[in-house]
Structure 1
Amino acid sequence: MGNETIGAHDEHHDGGKQRKTTIVLGILAPILIIVLFIFIGNILKANSIQPEIKKRSRPVLAVMASTAISDTVQLRVNVQGQSRPRTEIDLVPEVGGKIVSVSSKFISGGIFNKGDVLYRIDPSDYQVAVVRAEATVARAQQVLMREESEGAIAKLDWDDLGNGKEATALTLRQPQLIEAQASLQSAEADLDNAQIRLRRTAVTAPFNGQVREKFADIGQFVNPGAKLGRIFSTDIAEVRLALSDADIARINLPLAFVAKSRETAPDVKLSTTIGGQLREWDGKIMRTDAAYDPLTRSMYAIAEVLDPYGAGAADGAFPLAPGLFVDASIAGKIIENVIIIPRDGLRPEDKVYTVDEDGIATSNDVIVIDTNPERAVLLSGIEPGSLVIVSALEKSQISLTFRVLDINDPTKILIEPKKAEREKKNGDGDALATAQKKLADSKKSYAIAKKEYAMAKKKAAQEKKDKKKKKKGKKGDKDKNPKDEQSVDNQNQGKNSKKEGAN
């Protein structure tokens, strides 16, 4: 029985040792796997073939260019303004009364001619006044005739009875004659006034024009000076244009300028879009304001268009109506021997990029005289015949070499860099061989790495399998009969008691 107790104790001791071994293996297994992968990576790195370091050539970019030319140009000033009639007034009656008729032309937008009767005021009272004035004139004429006759009779009487003495003015009734003449003149003046007031009952158009607004209508009683409507002249249209100092310098207009004649006045082209199409009118700068505008610090020039509703209308059908917002292009100075380039060739900060005969880009500072959407006019900075780059280009690309193409014919090469020509002749044979060698080396390295990875994977699977077996054995020890374990413990306790009794 003592031997059985010792055997049970040894088995219990061996089970604890196996559990410790399993724990140690569980900790070391991941570490061994990591070390294994590091080892495999070092092997792959050692066996890999380093690629050949070769300096790559920069690809040659292509840019569009245009040739700068020397020419004579006329500067133009482009500004904007709003059209207005040169003459615009309120239509008012000079006499009061009831409106008895209104012209069919007097409506908003209606067109009339000079002398047309637009309104008519009831003339009855004014006709009566004319009749009374005519009667007064007739009486005054009768009095004058009587005084003239009596004066003649008085002179004859004095000649017979005056004994050769000179007659006085009173004797000859000259004061009465003068009074009668004055009364007649006054009556005639009253008649003229009555006739004028009668004529003024017909309100006529003072010029050829158009109705902007209508304020009164038939049946309405109006006083003298009341607004019947607002009308404007269609003979001449004006556009007031604000000019800066630079604009004035381009046109060479003096302060308080007044054109001596229409033929010598500066030309101006007015334009705007109506009905989806561009409409244009020809005008002249006829005068400028006498002073600068204190708010905008600008001087205003006045452009005039003759007969804007007739011969001066755009395309014969589109008048320069009041309130129309237009663009104005004013003809200015004529300058010779200037350099002209495409507008896209002018960069910010007044710079122009050019290319030399080798295709190398250069930045140039230029003096700009004038620009428009199509071209830029330069005073200096580049020479005529220079190739101006019009393609988009960054500042960092200056001093690089480019292939230059003609802006008018992109298939035409103006400059082919020499370096690009050599690379084109050499071909791509060497590059193809190098690429094939690199591909073969890469395949070989991949095969080695794949094999080593498979071995490591197999080894890790075996370790995992062993670990599961050990874990299963440990579980079997735990499932033993508790009575056997108690029996072993009792045997150990009895053995210890015997040793103590012997002692």
Structure 2
Amino acid sequence: MMKINLTHKAVKVFLPIAILLGSLLVAFLFIALGEEPKKHYRPQVPLLVEAFTIKGSDYSVVLETQGTVKARTESSLIPEISGRITTVSDAFRSGGFFKQGQLLVQIDPRNYKIDIRVAQANLAEQEFRLEEEKARVELALKNWNKINPTKKASNLTLHLPQLKLAQAALDSAKAQLEKAQINLEKTQIIAPYDGRIVEQLADVGQFVSTGSVLARIYSVDVAEIRLPLNNQQIEFLDFEDDYFDSSEPVKKKISVEINAKVGLTTYTWAGHIARAEGAIDIKSRQLFIVAQVANPYSKVAHNPPLKVGQYVTARIKGKELNNVFVIPRMALRENNKVLIISPENTLMLRTVKVLWSDQDHYVISEGLNVNERLCLTPINFVTEGRKVKIYDAQLEVTL
């Protein structure tokens, strides 16, 4: 009975071990003697991409900037004499237009007319005194020749200093009369140019003194816009800078298109670049150039007036770039790289030199060749040599 129990226990212990060893032996034999499994490679599906064929061309640079309209000439109307304002022109109101030479303000002239009469009386008196002194000089010379015909008389004896004094007094009287007449003219405040009233600061009945401001005005013959250009834009501006010792003839005018939005409508005015300012702005590190638009308040086509203070955008004609490649903006990757589609329809990453860019295009000067194809489709992970298939929009429409 004891022997049977021992045998039963041995079977329980060694049987699982034997089964495990047998399984390992069978597995080893399968691995060692079995055939290697065949590998199946799935063919790579070409990417469907949109292509752009490169063409060489010339490109006209357009510089885009913005600014605020100002008048070329701004002034303050200031009287040179004092007095009470008696009349003002109908145009002498804020926003009123006036012509050069037009009377804007009349200051009471009565005191200045009196000054003229006083000056005229003084002039008549000095003319009489001069004639009187001339007569005394002739009489003194005649008497001296009778008494001392062989001697030369002194200037004082002949009343010559008195004659000079009378002549000086006459000249002074003439100057005083001229000054009085000028002061009378100054009672009329005349428009110095064709312009418009910005702000009226005086009116009828008001007493004004010398140096007080009657109104602020500006000219309407030419409007000016200060336009900032950054360092890159300056390089492509077809404009010759001024030199101190330059004797060259007048430079050509660069055209500029001024645009302003009024309500829902955008209007356009034609202008030109008049000059560049003498220094680069310290804060913005930009150079300001000045564009001019002639007759901004004239009725041209259906345009409204180009008003002072109006915000505008500008498009300036820049340099002509020859033999460059103009590509869509979506074709450029990582600021200076493009994907080239090879003749075998595989992708190649290439570095290019960007010369200029606008809202829709990049202008490339180096790194591309005519008739090469660019990949326009956005690809997150680019692999050199990846197969592609050109997307044919016409075929899709046909299907």
Find the partner of 1:281 among 241, 265, 269. 269
Residues 1:271 and 2:255 are matched in the alignment: no
Find the partner of 1:332 among 303, 310, 318. 318
Aligned-pair CA distance for 1:215: 1.1
- 2:94 is aligned to 108
- 2:394 is aligned to 411
Residues 1:160 and 2:146 are matched in the alignment: yes
- 1:143 is aligned to 129
Structure 2, gaps ≥5 residues long: 1-39
Bigger relative CO (Cα 8 Å, ≥ 6 apart): 2
- 1:419 is aligned to none
CA contact (8 A) 2:86 2:205 kept: yes
Distance 1:372 1:227, change over 3 A: same
The structure with more radius of gyration: 1
Q: Give the partner amino acid of 2:269.
A: W
Q: How does 1:404-483 map to 2 (within 5 A)?
A: 404-405=390-391, 410-411=393-394
- 1:208 is aligned to 194
Aligned-pair CA distance for 1:262: 6.0
Worse-superposed segment, 116-125 or 324-333? 324-333
- 2:75 is aligned to 89
- 1:238 is aligned to 224
In 1, the alpha carbon distance for the partners of 2:250 and 2:379 equals: 48
Q: Secondary structure at the match of 1:105?
A: coil
> TM-score by structure 1 length?
0.64
Q: How does 1:375-414 map to 2 (within 5 A)?
A: 375-396=361-382, 400-405=386-391, 410-411=393-394
- 1:302 is aligned to 290
Distance 1:221 1:153, change over 3 A: same
Worse-superposed segment, 100-109 or 63-72? 63-72
Q: Secondary structure at the match of 1:411?
A: helix
In 1, the alpha carbon distance for the partners of 2:262 and 2:212 equals: 37
Aligned-pair CA distance for 1:158: 2.5
Distance 1:353 1:318, change over 3 A: farther
Aligned-pair CA distance for 1:235: 2.3
Q: Secondary structure at the match of 1:84?
A: strand
Distance 1:295 1:225, change over 3 A: same
Distance 1:400 1:248, change over 3 A: same
Distance 1:348 1:116, change over 3 A: farther
Aligned-pair CA distance for 1:323: 1.6
Q: Give the partner amino acid of 2:50.
A: M
CA contact (8 A) 1:256 1:291 kept: no
Distance 1:140 1:317, change over 3 A: farther
In 2, the alpha carbon distance for the partners of 1:194 and 1:293 equals: 49
Worse-superposed segment, 133-142 or 351-360? 351-360
In 1, the alpha carbon distance for the partners of 2:56 and 2:103 equals: 62
- 2:20 is aligned to none
In 1, the alpha carbon distance for the partners of 2:373 and 2:263 equals: 42
In 2, the alpha carbon distance for the partners of 1:257 and 1:331 equals: 23
In 1, the alpha carbon distance for the partners of 2:300 and 2:363 equals: 30
CA contact (8 A) 1:210 1:232 kept: yes
How many residues align? The count is: 356
- 1:451 is aligned to none
In 2, the alpha carbon distance for the partners of 1:104 and 1:412 equals: 73
- 1:172 is aligned to 158
In 2, the alpha carbon distance for the partners of 1:266 and 1:150 equals: 74
Q: Secondary structure at the match of 1:363?
A: strand
- 1:293 is aligned to 281
Structure 1, gaps ≥5 residues long: 1-53, 414-503
Q: Secondary structure at the match of 1:251?
A: coil
Higher normalized strand content (fraction of residues): 2
Distance 1:103 1:261, change over 3 A: farther
Distance 1:59 1:187, change over 3 A: same
Q: Deviations over 1:442-465 (max 9, x none)?
A: xxxxxxxxxxxxxxxxxxxxxxxx
- 2:335 is aligned to 349
CA contact (8 A) 1:255 1:291 kept: no
Q: Secondary structure at the match of 1:177?
A: helix
Aligned-pair CA distance for 1:397: 7.8
Q: Give the partner amino acid of 1:411.
A: Q
Higher normalized helix content (fraction of residues): 1
Aligned-pair CA distance for 1:94: 1.0
> TM-score by structure 2 length?
0.80
Residues 1:374 and 2:384 are matched in the alignment: no
CA contact (8 A) 2:268 2:303 kept: no
CA contact (8 A) 1:353 1:389 kept: yes
Q: Give the partner amino acid of 1:225.
A: G
Aligned-pair CA distance for 1:263: 5.3
Aligned-pair CA distance for 1:220: 1.0
Q: Give the partner amino acid of 1:333.
A: K
In 1, the alpha carbon distance for the partners of 2:379 and 2:114 equals: 89
- 2:182 is aligned to 196
In 2, the alpha carbon distance for the partners of 1:83 and 1:250 equals: 24
Worse-superposed segment, 215-224 or 161-170? 161-170
Q: Deviations over 1:466-503 (max 9, x none)?
A: xxxxxxxxxxxxxxxxxxxxxxxxxxxxxxxxxxxxxx
Q: Deviations over 1:54-111 (max 9, x none)?
A: 9877766644333221112232322222221121121111111111111111222222
In 2, the alpha carbon distance for the partners of 1:323 and 1:262 equals: 30
Q: Secondary structure at the match of 2:236?
A: helix
Q: Give the partner amino acid of 2:168.
A: A
Worse-superposed segment, 213-222 or 290-299? 290-299
CA contact (8 A) 2:238 2:254 kept: no
